[in-house]
Structure 1
Amino acid sequence: MNSYLLLFLSIFFGILLGKIKIKNFKLGSSGALFSGLIIGWYSTSHYSVEVINKLNNEFQQFFLFSLILFISSIGLIASKDLDKIIKKYGIRFLIMAFFITFTGFITTYIFSKLGNKYEFVGIYSGALTSSPGLATALETTPNYEKEIISGYTFGYIPGVLAVILSMYIFPHLFKIDIENEKKELIKEMHFVEDNEEKFDFLAYSLVIIVGILIGNYTFDFNYISFKLGITGGVLLSSLFLGRIGKVWIFDFKMNKKILKTIQELGLLMFLSSVGLKSGYNTLNNLNLQTISLMFYSFIIAIISIILGIILGKYILKINWIILSGAVCGGMTSTPGLGAAIDANDSEEVAIGYGATYPFALLGMVIFNKILVLLN
């Protein structure tokens, strides 16, 4: 089975699925996740374990490459307004990050009394879509690797779906006028229209190189250590280098239309590859136990999102465009970020994501360690 064929079939049917509109709701680019899940399950269900593992390795490479394309492009687009947003909201991003991860932690701890406690350690990282959280849990309790990975595996997709759906549905439930929020944000921040016409491949490559190096660096604080990973590293490098503008022969201010095309391609590939590599294990192993794990994960994610929105919107008074990105950052959810950009039709969402994401990773590391100790 050709993995490239499966990837573009997922993209093709995902785009078609995303165009279906029911009242004011449509999946948009997120349709690629659902088509990927179904195609990934169906295309691999008749093959040997060796073939499935080979395909999953190829899907993982698509996943990483597309993630780099998506994150770097939205970071460069959003970078021009970074300092204005940070100056206005500042510490509120840190509060959002730790509040959302703490809410998920408390909810998970309560639910853990109902089942295998180590599966729920994995569910916590799955519900908040955090690979560094999973790594921390495995490092802390290596003797329970099977249970933790099982919880993460079945918790991940519901966690992703919870964030994606919330970005489309919750603005209506909370009666948030997205267009009005965008107008207010533009008025408050005095955004300048982007007139750049060029695209510097040399500078773009440097953004990715620096991002990967940052992502692989281990931040070590006594008993707590973590990595930002590719997502965090590339996002930080694109935001800050994009804000600097030009350094020597490198020009980081690039044409927005080209960046948006790269962003859309990266997002479609990313969501499709997530679905493809998760489809077999998720759908082929459905039973009462795994469905219950997925249900708990979805509830943990939804509670974290709802309380995060309430805190951000009504207490911290953060504009919805920035807040939606901050919620996705607090959930460490890159697919959610794609859905938020699509639902709001605004790249400024990425600033809230970028400012919240690193603190959320730190929160996941801290609360994972506490969760293991409590259990």
Structure 2
Amino acid sequence: MNTYILLFLTILSGILIGKIKIKNFKLGSSGTLFSGLLIGWYTTSQFSNNLEIINSMNKDFKQFFLFSLILFISSVGLIASKDLKSIIKKYGVKFIIMAFVITLSGFLATLILSSNNKYIFVGLFSGALTSSPGLATALETAPNFEKDIISGYSFGYVPGVLAVIFSMYLLPHILKINVNDEKKKLLGEINIKKEDAKNFDFLSYSLVIIIGILFGNINFNFGVVSFKLGMTGGILLSSLILGTMGNFWIFNFKMNKNILKNLQEFGLLMFLSSVGLRSGYKTLSNLNIETLYLMLYSFIIAIISISVGVIFGKYILKINWIILSGAICGGMTSTPGLGAAIDSNDSEEVAIGYGATYPFALIGMVIFNKILMMIK
């Protein structure tokens, strides 16, 4: 089975699904996640008796997933970096507050919903907030319950992703937020830079990715709290920081926005497709009453986390919706959500809220996972 055909068939069909408009709502790039789930389920089911082919396909899908993350996150970070200083100066500590408000809300919701098998719900908590570091912390703390934790994470992940994606498209309509007005207000609040470079420097782009991957592998240890930013967090921070720096020696990190936007869009389409292709069979083939309840619980946990974050960020911290939508996705550690937020708002400034909140959300996930494991 040619996995490249499956990938681009998923992208093709997903784009078509994303163009379907119901009133003011459409899935956009997120349509590829749904087409990936269906194609992944159908293709894998055809080879269910051939473990060698399935393992080979999953290996390819994982490589697509990792490469697409690199393209998407690096381009998003470089585009958003031009406004980083102004937004951090205005909102600063609010991003830290948002990260802990969102992760704490998810923790409390998980605590309320959890039943007799707490380890499944520990995994469900990380899945609902799409947090791989949270999963790693849980597995490290309770290695004897790996099967339950991974099972909870697996069934929690897709509903968690869908909750963030739908929220990014629907919340502006529910809360009657005028996105164009919010963009104008943001323009007045900070110094948005309009100039754009004409070139794209592959030398500098490669350095951004290399530094990001290395940075993401550093283990930050603060006593009881230990975490890594991972490839996503590392590349996002390196692209934001180096992009803000602009020029260094022979490296020029100011790159053409249109080229970066094309890389961003392709990376997102490829990322969502690979998530669907990897998750489709396990998600759709294991549907029963118990797993449907777990998926529903995950969706509820995610919605509660998002709702509390939105209420707190919009009405208490008074954060502009463009930046707040990114902060919500960062608090949920949701890369697909970031793509949906950028698409629904048609603004790359979303990524700054994401990048500033994301690292603190990882810390929150590690802390609350450890607490959840200690509660009987």
- Matching residue's letter, 1:246: N
Match of 2:245 in 1: 244
TM-score with structure 1 setting the length: 0.99
Match of 1:141 in 2: 142
> % of aligned pairs identical?
72
Distance 2:221 2:46 in 1: 45
Aligned-partner SS, 1:45: helix
1:308 alignment counterpart: 309
One of 38, 50, 71 as aligned partner of 2:73:
71
Which residue in the other structure is 2:92 paired with? 90
The Cα offsets for residues 214-234 of structure 1, whole Å up to 9 and x where unpaired, read as 001100111221000011000
Q: Please tell me whether residue 216 in structure 1 is matched to residue 217 in structure 2.
A: yes
Task: Kindly indicate whether the alpha-carbon contact (under 8 Å) linking 1:194 and 1:256 is maintained by their aligned counterparts in 2.
Answer: no
Give the Å deviation of 1:115: 4.2
Mapped to 1, the partners of 2:56 and 2:148 lie a distance apart of: 24
Q: Is residue 176 from structure 1 mapped to residue 177 from structure 2 by the alignment?
A: yes
Partner of 1:267: 268
- Aligned equivalent of 2:355: 354
User: Is the 2:110–2:121 Cα contact (8 Å) retained in structure 1?
Assistant: yes
Q: Is the 8 A contact 1:128 1:301 kept in 2?
A: yes
* Count of aligned pairs: 374
Question: Which residue identity does 1:98 align to in structure 2?
Answer: F
Q: Is the 8 A contact 2:83 2:191 kept in 1?
A: no
For residue 332 of structure 1, give the secondary structure of its aligned residue in structure 2: coil
The corresponding residue for 2:206 is 205
Task: Find runs of 4+ consecutive structure 1 residues off by over 3 angstroms.
Answer: none
RMSD, aligned α-carbons: 0.7
Q: Kindly report which structure 2 residues correspond to 1:179-198, keeping only aligned pairs within 5 A, or say none.
A: 179-198=180-199
Please report how far the alpha carbon of residue 194 of structure 1 lies from its aligned counterpart in structure 2 after TM superposition.
2.5
1:17 corresponds to: 17
Q: Which runs of 5+ in 1 are unaligned?
A: none
The residue number in structure 1 matching 2:166 is 165
CA distance in 2, matches of 1:192, 1:147: 49
Q: Which runs of 5+ in 2 are unaligned?
A: none
Structure 2 distance, partners of 1:179, 1:211, is 33
Give the distance between the partners of 2:292 and 2:51, measured in 1 at CA.
Answer: 23
Amino acid in structure 1 at the alignment position of 2:302? A
Q: Deviations over 1:292-345 (max 9, x none)?
A: 110000000001001100000000000000000000000000000000000000
Cα drift, residue 53 of structure 1: 2.0
Stretch moving more, 285-294 or 346-355: 285-294
> How far has the Cα of 1:187 moved from its partner?
1.3
How much has 1:49 moved relative to structure 2?
2.8
**Which TM-score applies when normalising by structure 2?**
0.99
Query: Contact 2:196 / 2:255 at 8 angstroms: preserved in 1?
Result: no
Give the deviation of 1:176 after TM superposition.
0.8
Structure 1 stretch displaced more, 114-123 or 212-221: 114-123
Q: 1:121-136, aligned counterparts within 5 Å? A: 121-136=122-137
The residue number in structure 2 matching 1:232 is 233
Secondary structure at the aligned position of 1:318 is classed as: coil
Q: Give the superposition deviation at 1:253.
A: 0.2
Q: Deviations over 1:190-213 (max 9, x none)?
A: 312122101110000000000000
1:108/1:120 contact within 8 Å kept: yes
Q: Deviations over 1:233-286 (max 9, x none)?
A: 000000000000000000000000000000000000000000000001000111
Equivalent pair of 2:322/2:349 in contact (CA under 8 Å): yes
Deviations 1:114-138 (A, max 9, x none): 3421100000000000000000000
Q: Look up the equivalent residue of 1:43 and give its one-letter code.
A: T
